[in-house]
């Protein structure tokens, strides 16, 4: 009997070793069992108690902060090397690197999602801000400030009433609305909220340079001939795309896109300079990709319909791109790298959130500026806010990470985007969204949320099989 047990043990050990291989993954903790056992998407990670964590330095190169295994929680960003058993999904960690920038230590800027409800006392402001797909806690220790935007500074100068260029303490809430940006800094708490150490408000504006960029990116359209199934063309700056000659699909995409525009942005009058004239176009390209120009031109590759499994997943793709425009990501990126981009004319999109090379001609963008952590943080924000807007439009937000799962099924788990550094693959994106779901939507009621419908399946089929659509058109024309 003892010999049999030894044989069984040896067999199981050899079997485990046969299926184990050394891998490296980069992602966000999606479920926490203990300080030595947790999950990242489909990977069940275990670590030895004695294994020391390596802390990645931040952009300033400052010394790592103290971080212990018990500080790991849902949403912690990790890079893990270890032995992976493909049969069981178990990953035994041999090394773990922790990334704290933009996960525990937060420094972000976004439009307010709700008008703030804060209380003022002699000690300071107290309450919760809703912005950036996050709950930001303000307490007595939070520095709460406001500052004029560039237009307000120019006007004050013209009125010979110079406004201070420095932020001043917030004295009231009357001037804060949904066209207000907030920059917040703080530390992520165990309950998923961000305890802010600093909050700074200013009014959104369409700067002259940004308005000029909008005009330069105004699309030129050659309509498709739907009767003869002949593709149209759209030109945006130096980029050209072939429009899918399927009117039902174009109308469907436009209708879905319009429904996902945030309610406040949609309600602005046409004469309001902050109103973005969104237009959605389906173009011929088999690659899974979509992208948004800053003036609201949203380009969606036909290959998106070959990957998205339902309407909710397509809604996430569109919401992600809409967020790039609403949150002014192209202009933020331009201003962030102003010195490097001084002589550069932007001829394409900065925030193409899905796909390999992007759907715009961005070859002339400064490579170092695009690949750094700032651009990556904008992609994370487009995921967060896009998921929130998707929820507000009634879609099941659990389909957001599943969209990345669908991408993996089609293309594998390799890196998917030029704008992220090489550790950002589909697991990274998927686990990020799964962590956001757990941290910010644990009490969501999914019973009434939309996932799929017959119209999506019909449109997807017609886009994936254009030859069949062409034959149908020919038969119809010939019968007249």
What pLDDT shows up at residue 323? 96
CATH 2.40.50 matches 106-203: yes
> What is the rounded distance in angstroms from the CA atom of residue 204 to the CA atom of residue 327?
10
Measuring CA to CA, how many Å separate 148 from each of 155, 273, 310?
10, 18, 44
> Which position has the higher pLDDT, 162 or 417?
162
Q: Are 19 and 92 in contact (CB under 8 A)?
A: no
- List pLDDT tens digits, range 239-270: 999 999 999 999 999 999 999 999 999 999 99
**Closest listed residue to residue 243, CA positions, set 147, 72, 359:** 359
> Which position has the higher pLDDT, 360 or 127?
127
What is the 3-state secondary structure of 189-252?
A: CCCCCEEEEEEEEEECCCCHHHHHHHHHCCCEEECCECCCCECEEEEECCEEEEECCCHHHHHH
Phi and psi dihedrals of 345, rounded to 5? -100, 120
How many angstroms separate the first and last alpha carbons of the chain? 85
Please report how many Cα atoms fall inside a 13 Å half-sphere around the Cα of residue 179, on the Cβ side: 16
User: Considering the entire predicted model, what is its pTM?
Assistant: 0.85
Kindly state the tokens that stand for 176: 């804060």
- 19-101 and 106-203 agree in CATH topology: yes
> What is the rounded distance in angstroms from the CA atom of residue 386 to the CA atom of residue 432?
13
Q: Please state at what angle helix 454-464 crosses helix 311-326, rounded to 10 degrees.
A: 80
- List pLDDT tens digits, range 181-220: 999 999 988 888 999 999 999 999 999 999 999 999 999 9
Residue spans per domain, the chain: 19-101, 106-203, 208-467
> What is the rounded distance in angstroms from the CA atom of residue 400 to the CA atom of residue 316?
6
CATH 2.40.50.100 matches 19-101: no
For residue 196, the SS3 value is strand
DSSP state of 445: -
Other CB atoms within 10 A of residue 1 CB: 5
> Confidence class of residue 114 from pLDDT cuts 50, 70 and 90?
very high
- List pLDDT tens digits, range 432-465: 999 999 988 988 899 999 999 999 999 999 999 8
């Amino acid at each position: 009997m003892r010999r049999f047990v030894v044989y069984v043990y040896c067999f199981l050990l050899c079997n485990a070793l046969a299926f184990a291989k050394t891998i490296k993954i980069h992602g966000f903790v999606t479920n926490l069992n203990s300080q030595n056992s947790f999950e990242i998407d489909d990977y069940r990670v275990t670590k030895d108690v004695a294994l020391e964590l390596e802390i990645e330095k931040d952009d300033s190169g400052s010394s790592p902060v103290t971080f212990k295994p018990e500080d790991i929680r849902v949403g912690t960003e990790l890079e893990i090397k270890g032995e992976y058993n493909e049969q069981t999904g178990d990953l035994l960690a041999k090394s773990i690197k922790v990334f704290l920038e933009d996960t525990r230590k937060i420094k972000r800027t976004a439009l307010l999602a709700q008008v703030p409800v804060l209380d003022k006392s002699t000690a300071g402001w107290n309450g919760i801000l809703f912005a950036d797909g996050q709950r930001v806690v303000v307490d007595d220790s939070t520095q709460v400030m406001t500052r004029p935007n560039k237009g307000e500074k120019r006007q004050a100068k013209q009125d010979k009433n110079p406004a201070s260029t420095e932020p001043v303490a917030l004295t009231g809430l009357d001037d804060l609305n949904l066209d207000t940006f907030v920059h917040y800094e703080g530390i992520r708490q165990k309950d998923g909220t961000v305890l802010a150490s600093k909050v700074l408000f200013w009014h959104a504006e369409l700067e002259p340079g940004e308005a000029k960029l909008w005009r330069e990116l105004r699309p030129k359209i050659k309509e498709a001939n739907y009767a003869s199934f002949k593709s149209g063309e759209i030109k945006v700056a130096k980029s050209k795309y072939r429009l899918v000659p399927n009117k039902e699909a174009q109308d469907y995409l436009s209708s879905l896109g319009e429904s996902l525009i945030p309610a406040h942005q949609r309600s602005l009058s046409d004469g309001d300079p902050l109103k973005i004239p969104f237009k959605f176009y389906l173009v011929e390209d088999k690659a899974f990709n979509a992208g948004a120009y800053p003036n609201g031109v949203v380009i969606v590759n036909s290959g998106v319909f070959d990957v998205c499994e339902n309407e909710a997943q397509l809604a996430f793709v569109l919401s992600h791109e809409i967020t790039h425009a609403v949150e002014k990501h192209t202009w933020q990126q331009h201003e962030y790298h102003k010195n490097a981009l001084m002589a550069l004319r932007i001829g394409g999109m900065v925030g193409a959130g899905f796909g390999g090379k992007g759907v715009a001609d961005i070859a002339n963008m400064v490579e170092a500026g695009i690949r750094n952590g700032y651009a990556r943080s904008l992609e994370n924000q487009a995921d967060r806010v896009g998921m929130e807007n998707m929820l507000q439009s009634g879609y099941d937000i659990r389909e957001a990470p599943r969209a990345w799962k669908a991408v993996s099924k089609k293309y594998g788990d390799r890196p998917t985007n030029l704008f992220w550094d090489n550790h950002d693959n589909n697991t990274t994106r998927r686990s990020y969204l799964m962590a956001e779901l757990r941290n910010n939507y644990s009490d969501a009621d999914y019973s009434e949320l939309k996932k799929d419908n017959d119209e999506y399946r019909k449109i997807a089929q017609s886009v994936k099989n254009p030859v069949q659509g062409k034959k149908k058109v020919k038969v119809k024309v010939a019968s007249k």
